[in-house]
Structure 1
Amino acid sequence: MMASFFDQFASPSFAGVPLIAIALATPLALFPSASSKWLTNRLGTLQGWFLKQYTGQLLSPLSQEAHKWALLYGSLIVFLLGLNMLGLLPYTFTPTTQLSLNMGLAVPFWLATVIIGLRNRPTHALGHLLPEGTPTPLIPMLIIIETISLFIRPIALGVRLTANLTAGHLLIQLIATAVFVLFPVMTTVSLLTLVVLLLLTVLEVAVAMIQAYVFVLLLSLYLQENV
């Protein structure tokens, strides 16, 4: 019984063919496409307002050189929002609960910021490995520690997104199972549990949005250190 709780995180397949590509492409079809009309609909206006506010808040502390990443980061957060919110619908699959997918997003974006820093400002980029004023006996140890922390960054990005979404989905499924089990026996307790389930679902919607924002925000902070 316990193993069935994790079936929702298995990659969907049909006739032995993985459907992960369709799951990744589905959120893109839900967003309105560009139109040649003077006036857009309410959904397009809301989407444009959200992207404008988000990019303005995200890139305002960054230098002018980093503003060229606005389109890429804006597309990334819309993509992650779609994937995270898709998993809250019934009979759906959340691709971002797969660590391999999250690492596939985190590692290239993190590596791009590191390569940009080493190419454009090598002295400044390498200076992060050794804080100024470090005592001479501590220099080798600090360099090793800072190097390890540098390579842990993409792992932390991927694991954070995976763990938060996986824990929320598991908790929702556990409480939903308790509602169905308790309903014939203790109806009042089951209804109270249902209220908790609804509140938890609202919280999970907030978590899905916040985790997508935090993922891109941390990438922008890594970019800020290297431009």
Structure 2
Amino acid sequence: MTESSAERTRAPNGHGAGATPADESCEIPVNPGSGSDADVTPADGAGGRDRDLATDLRQAPLLAALSPAQLARLLQRASQVRLAAGQMLFRQEEPAARFYFVRSGQIRLFRLSSDGGEKIIELIRAGQTFAEALLFMGTGRYPVCAAALTEAQVVSIDAADFAAMLRESPETCFALLGDLSRRLHTMIAEAQLGSLGWRKAAPATPISRRMHVSRSRAICWPSPR
């Protein structure tokens, strides 16, 4: 792993390639992989906050509970990265200083084996965040590679500052936990309904036919889990 892939891509003016700084005292962090010419722009540009972007970010459970002031703070330190299909965003074992929100397109997360093969871990779609788990794990390095599966636009978020916001506001932490809990219960309920629907629709198999017994005989069925 080379250090160059984790360093900022700089233009002649000292800022990231393709990036326009929000102000001269602030650099736009860039984290695309080696040899990348990613199009990077500030999330909170000189023309004012992108209202659509703020709305998009609230799709993510991790960001939905942020107050307007907290969201504005996040945007001041965030940047938007446009990636071509196949373009690397970060590589396995690089320092994990940022996490990401997918605004459009798809991102594939994968690990590299010792022989250079790839194992797909997850596909991330628009409206989802990824690499945020590292906020709570404290590993400090990305355990996977990330690359654009299709042309994509992602928002790069300062992980350290986001963690600081959570530490400063217990109310935000509780709101975040409440929202995640509600979504988890909804997912469990949907999975249970889907499982029941599958059981009703599943055709009888030779094994299930052999398990059928006369109504006069007692039989105990396992309760659904």
Task: Tell me the TM-score normalised to structure 2 length.
Answer: 0.29
Higher normalized helix content (fraction of residues): 1
Larger radius of gyration: 2
Task: Tell me the TM-score normalised to structure 1 length.
Answer: 0.29
